[in-house]
Structure 1
């Protein structure tokens, strides 16, 4: 199973797909999600999920980004069906990390989409001046307002007015200093209290980006090899826990790996 590019999206297609996962990454690592989130996304592919990872470039207009990534995603699904790579109905899940969460929330609030659920990891909804350090270096006068569209307050109001995805898994990490998942949890529970699950896992904001560590042992297993294997295990422990939680939520009847 290899990555394929369709309409600017990176796609994994398992032999017997059971559902589709639309992935959107964080603001500064979203341009190559098939690389930056490879281990997490390929794990889902091996579990039978078609993965459609949509790259995007961050701008101040998050509404426009949400519209563009949705159009790209829909265009890719049409191509996959047209070429016979996908057949029949498959449920669609949104999976977002950091800014990707905000985009999935906007998509689920502003556009008539059908989603079986959303998985929102390490959500944050900062104002531009807090999220972009460079903005703080300029002494703008009051007539020059640099802000995301929609702003944090407007985003919350959009969600309260129109978010239509009932089933949600919200994940935060214990060592994530920029996470705002608790506030989002309260917001979504006002809409769909019985369908919103929030979990705190060990890790940091970068845990979903866990990268492969290629430690090769020699012909004779040495103490240094033992240290390398231990280090690799510790690095992967947090990512593996995230994989297990996502997999179990997507398919509660499956056993945890």
Structure 2
């Protein structure tokens, strides 16, 4: 299974996908999601068609949301035209990390989309001056802010967000996460349809890769440290993967996405 570039998206399609995952990454790592989030996306790509849409961050987040949605729709249409997706209907899930969460929330609030659910990892909704500390140094005499602003985003989600089923994931060592506030907001809109899970890891855990560590002829303390480092990274990644897969299909025994 290899990545394909389709309509500006990076796509993985297994032989018999059971659903579609539209992935949007964090602000400064979203330009090459097939590389920065490779391990996690390739694990999901064993059963789900994964469409990872790159984007370049600007202050206009609503415009980015519209652009990535249009790009995703074009990719799905082309996948059907190429017969890479043979079933006309498959459930579609949004998967976002950091800023990607905000974009999926905007997509679900501003546009008429059909989503079986959204998975929002490490959500944050900071003002521009907090998210981009240097911005005020370059434009100190102007009020620079994202569109929509954090308050406007919260109001949009509260009043117009349409995706009923949501999984929110936060990590134990993530000081910029705002998932708890989002959970309270979504619970008011869709009681009993929103789940918040706290997992071991940090804000960068979804970016982790499986580290190949080959020991030499003699197992040294350095090798032991390398194996421990790999186990720590791999453990958090696997737990994140298992949490996502179980939520996507609670009745699956995760046979094809089991630990390796």
Same fold (TM over 0.5): yes
Equivalence for 1:3: 3
Determine if the alignment matches structure 1 residue 19 to structure 2 residue 19: yes
Report if the CA contact (8 A) 2:136-2:144 is conserved: no
Whole-angstrom distance in 1 between the partners of 2:106 and 2:251: 30
Equivalence for 2:83: 84
Quote the offset at 1:136 in angstroms.
3.3
From the superposition, tell whether residues 219 and 63 of structure 1 become closer, same or farther in structure 2 (CA, over 3 Å): same
Determine if the alignment matches structure 1 residue 43 to structure 2 residue 27: no
Report if the CA contact (8 A) 2:22-2:51 is conserved: yes
Quote the offset at 1:219 in angstroms.
4.7
Determine if the alignment matches structure 1 residue 154 to structure 2 residue 149: no
Report if the CA contact (8 A) 2:24-2:101 is conserved: yes
Aligned to 1:177, which of 169, 175, 178? 175
Count of aligned residue pairs for this structure pair? 254
Alignment gaps of 5+ in structure 1 = none
Query: What are the residue-to-residue correspondences of 1:1-257 with 2, within 5 Å?
Result: 1-46=1-46, 48-88=47-87, 89-138=89-138, 140-141=140-141, 144-219=142-217, 221=219, 224-255=222-253, 257=258
TM-score, normalised with respect to structure 2: 0.94
Quote the offset at 1:224 in angstroms.
4.2
1:150-186 residue CA offsets vs partner (Å, 9 max, x unmatched)? 0000001111121000000000011101101011011
Quote the offset at 1:138 in angstroms.
4.4
From the superposition, tell whether residues 60 and 255 of structure 1 become closer, same or farther in structure 2 (CA, over 3 Å): same
RMSD: 1.3
Whole-angstrom distance in 2 between the partners of 1:45 and 1:118: 17
TM-score, normalised with respect to structure 1: 0.95
Alignment gaps of 5+ in structure 2 = none
Report if the CA contact (8 A) 2:164-2:190 is conserved: yes
Whole-angstrom distance in 1 between the partners of 2:205 and 2:120: 14
| Matched residue SS, 2:68 | helix
Whole-angstrom distance in 1 between the partners of 2:18 and 2:139: 53
Quote the offset at 1:229 in angstroms.
2.1
